[in-house]
Structure formats: structure tokens, C-alpha cells
Homo-oligomer: A and B are copies of this chain.
Amino acid sequence: MTQTIQVKEISKAAFVDFGDVIDTSGAPDKIINQGLCGRFHDRAKLDFTSGRAGVSLFKAEARSLPMALQMVERHPEGSQLFIPMSEHGFLVIVAPDENGTPGQPKAFLTKPGQAINFHRGTWHGVLTPLSEPGLFAVIDRVGTGANLEEHWFDTPYTVELKNKKTGTGIAKAS
């Protein structure tokens, strides 16, 4: 029997156990550049137990919903931050850890202008843009040694929007 995961709008509250939602909601922490720029300061928990922070670009193929979720992965040595270099939301899948394996996954849709930082060791799906160009800047650990665990589900999940016909009507995060 296929299990279904319904995509919900992301919110900082719903995502707090998994990572940071980084956006310009609320007031800037500082106004700089003679009043022409707002700085929203130090919004991600960068966390590396070995190696160092590095900046890479990821260019990923756009997917469409519904889609099968076959696996999640995690990086025990470091956080991983995804910054979209386009004005599109993207799909974010995470799962709580239950004694070393992922529990029930959750699927979120971000809004344009939001970056997502997975806290160190958080189970997550691979980068899943839903639109071209699928280009992201990624801040994650650069270093030697193993930093990837994968978990393949016995039965893949199906990730879908609430309203399959219109593609709209995304449920609010509970």
C-alpha cells in the first residue's frame, strides 16, 4: 500500500525541529548603505563538527508533483543551507530521527525569497526544485571523511499537493 505525504506551506514554527527558514519577514536588524539596504543578520545555524564551511552551487533538474520519495539522507558532520538563486519556492522533505532511522517524513513548500538550512544530522530529501533553473548556492561542510548516511524506504511514499487538479490549495503547516 502506498503511503501519501501531503505538501504543506513551510513556517518557522513547523520547521523548528529540522532547521532554519531564512527570509525577510519582520523588520531588518539594521539599515545600512545610507538607508538603501536592510540587513537581516545572522539567520542560519552553521554547525560543523569537522572540516569547514564551503560554498558550492547545485544545479538540479526540476521535478513535478506528485512524486515518489524513495530515500532520505543526513549529514552527521554538518548543517546544509540551500539558497535559491531564482524567485521560486522549492520542495523540502524532512523526517524526525527515531533511534537512528527516519520516522514519518514531512513535505513543505517554501515561498520565493526563502532559504532553508538543515540542522546537522537532520534526515532530509535531496534537493527538489519544482521550477527551472534549479540553481542553488549551498553552504555545507567541506572536509575529508564520511558525512553521508542514506535511508531507502521499503515502500516509497507519494508526495502530493492537496488539490491535485489545480496545483494550488497547499495546506497550512500544523
The reply to whether the CB of A98 lies closer than 8 angstroms to some CB of chain B is no
Contact A42:B56 (CB < 8 A) given known A87-B85, A115-B137: yes
**A contact residues vs B (CB 8 Å cutoff):** 22-24, 28, 32-34, 36-44, 46, 52-61, 81, 83-87, 113, 115, 117, 126-127, 133-135, 137-139, 142
A46 to chain B, nearest CB (A): 6
B24–A59 CB distance below 8 A: yes
Cα(A41)–Cα(B40), bound, Å: 27
Contact A40:B60 (CB < 8 A) given known A113-B133, A133-B113, A137-B83: no
> In the complex this chain forms, how many copies of it are found?
2
Give the residues in chain B near A24, CB-CB below 8 Å.
57, 59, 135
B55–A139 CB distance below 8 A: yes
Give the residues in chain B near A117, CB-CB below 8 Å.
55
B22–A40 CB distance below 8 A: no
A26 to chain B, nearest CB (A): 11
